Amino acid sequence: MKNGAGVEIRLKDLLGLKVSLQETVSCKEGLKASLSDTVTDKVQAWRSYLFNYVKRGTGGTLLCQAE
């Protein structure tokens, strides 16, 4: 899937809204942050970006619950 800016979101990225402490989240700028440490503001921003992307893409119906 792609949003208006052409940023590609893969299904595994959407599923990444819920991640284990051993997984790595990569954001649209290419940032990689390990969640084995304290969740950083940049990881929060990535999750927020995905959360909002899902909301826009589904007309407001949430597919995932960001924790």
In a domain, 25, yes or no: yes
| Residue 22: Cβ-neighbour burial (10 angstroms; 0-12, 13-18, 19+) | exposed
46 falls in which pLDDT band (50, 70, 90)?
A: confident
Segment 52-64 mean pLDDT = 53
Q: How far apart are CA 15 and CA 13, in angstroms?
A: 5
Report how many domains make up the chain.
1
Indicate if the pLDDT at residue 2 is higher than 50. Answer: no
In a domain, 63, yes or no: no
In a domain, 53, yes or no: yes
In a domain, 65, yes or no: no
Range of the domain at 50: 11-57
In a domain, 3, yes or no: no
In a domain, 66, yes or no: no
In a domain, 64, yes or no: no
Q: How far apart are CA 39 and CA 21, in angstroms?
A: 10
Indicate if the pLDDT at residue 40 is higher than 70. Answer: no
Q: Over the stretch 13-22, which tens digit does the pLDDT of each residue have?
A: 555 555 433 3
In a domain, 31, yes or no: yes
